[in-house]
Amino acid sequence: MSAEAISTRTLPERNEERAAEPEIDAGGASHVGQRRSANEDTYLIASLHRSMHVVDGTEHVRPGAWSLGRGYGTLLMVADGMGGHGGGDIASQSAVDAIANYLINVLPCATTMVESLPDDTRSSLHGLRGKLSSALLVGDQAIRIRSKSSTAHDMGTTLTMAFIAWPSLYVAHVGDSRCYLFREGRLTQLTNDHTVANQIAKMGGDNTSESSQLNHILWNCLGGGDDSRPTPEVLKYTLSAGDAVFLCTDGLTNELQEAEIARELSSNATSKEICQRLIDLANEHGGEDNITAVLARAGQARPT
C-alpha cells in the first residue's frame, strides 16, 4: 500500500457501516537521541478496566508486554518535558502520573454510563470532553506543586493524549507534540502546534521560516513557571477498522518528513517495532532531541 502524507484535517472517507470492535495493537518507544544527555520525554499506554493496566511506557511507568484485551478503552500519552537541570523529566513524569491517576477514576464512569444509551446516541461519551480537559489541568497543577520543591522552577511539559473508546477517538493536547490519524495510507495531523510561530500565522501574520526560534517557543503547555494556565485543545473523531493513531514528540517530527512517517506506518510490523524503526530513522537524520513515538492500530474485528 502506497503512503501519501497530508497536513490538512480533511480526513479520508471511512466506511460508515457500524463495525464490531477490532483488536487494538499498541506499542511505543523512546530514545534520548544523539545530542542530549538525558531523556525528558515520557509516554504511557494503558488499557482501562476498573483499574489501569499499564501496557507500555517509559521506565518509571513500569513498561510491560501484556495484551490490551477488553476494557473501557485504550489510553495513550506522550509528554515532552522542558526546564533543564532535571526539571524536564520531573515535569513530564509528574504530568503523566497525575493525569493517569485522575482518569482512572473518571473514564470508567463515563464509558459505563454510555452503555445504557441507544445506539444512535452513543457517538459522544457524556461529559468526556470536559473530563479530558480537566485532566490536563490536573497535570498542570501537579507540575506546579513539584516545582516548588525543585530548583527548576520553570519546568513544564507538552502533553498529547488519545483515548480510544471504540469507535470514538478523543484527543486532548497542549504543546507541540502531535497526534496523527493514519487511514488508507494517508497521514493527517489532528492537533495544532501550540507554538508562537503557528499562533502568529493563524492571526494572519508573516510566515515564519522553519529555522525561526519562534517555532520552538510554546504559548500553551503544562507548567512553565508563569501564572498562566493551559488552554487544552480537545477533539473528537470516529475511527474505522484499519485506522491507526500515532503520537510523537517533536524530536521525531523535526527529523522526519510526514511522507517518511507514513511509509513506516504502512508496514506489517507490530506497533512497537514500527515506533522503534521511526526512532532509529530520526537518529540517523541527526537525533537532535529526545525522540518518542506511540502507535495504536485498529486491526480486524474481534469475533462475537
Task: For residue 143, give the CATH number of its domain.
Answer: 3.60.40.10
Residue 145: phi, psi to the nearest 5? -70, -45
CB under 8 Å to 226, separation ≥6 — which residues? none
Residue 119 has pLDDT above 90, yes or no: no
Over residues 274-296, the pLDDT tens digits come to 999 999 999 999 999 999 999 99
Q: Strand 4-5 vs strand 186-189: parallel, antiparallel, or unpaired?
A: parallel
pLDDT at res. 148: 87
Task: Look at 5 and 197; give whichever has higher pLDDT.
Answer: 197
Domain range for 121 is 4-10+19-301
The reported pLDDT for the residue numbered 106 is 81
Res. 231: pLDDT tops 70: yes
Cα atoms in the 13 Å half-sphere on the side-chain side of 139: 37
- pLDDT above 90 for 71: no
Position with higher pLDDT, 303 vs 245: 245
C-alpha cell at 290: 529526545
Q: What is the value of pTM for the model shown? A: 0.86
Question: What is the tally of structural domains in the chain?
Answer: 1
Report which secondary-structure segment, H or E, holds 129: helix 128-147
Provide the residue type at 213 as one letter. Q
**188 pairs with which residues across the strands?**
181
Q: pLDDT band for 13, please (50, 70, 90 cuts).
A: low
Residue matched to cell numbers 445506539: 119
Q: Give 111's pLDDT tier (boundaries 50, 70, 90).
A: low
22, 302 contact by CB (below 8 A) = yes
Give the CB-side neighbour count of residue 33, counting CA atoms within 13 A: 24
Question: pLDDT tens for residues 129-181?
Answer: 999 999 999 999 999 999 888 777 789 999 999 999 999 999 999 999 999 99
Cell numbers given for 204 = 494572519
> What's the CA gap between 115 and 119, in Å, rounded?
9
Say which residues have a Cβ less than 8 Å from residue 136's Cβ, sequence separation at least 6: 99, 159, 161, 172, 174, 222, 230, 232
Residues 6 or more apart in contact with residue 146 via CB below 8 angstroms? 90, 91, 94, 155
Name which of 67-71, 190-194, 209-213 the model is least confident about: 67-71
What pLDDT, on a 0 to 100 scale, did the predictor assign at position 118?
A: 46
Q: What is the pLDDT of residue 116?
A: 45
The C-alpha cell that represents 45 in the structure block: 499506554
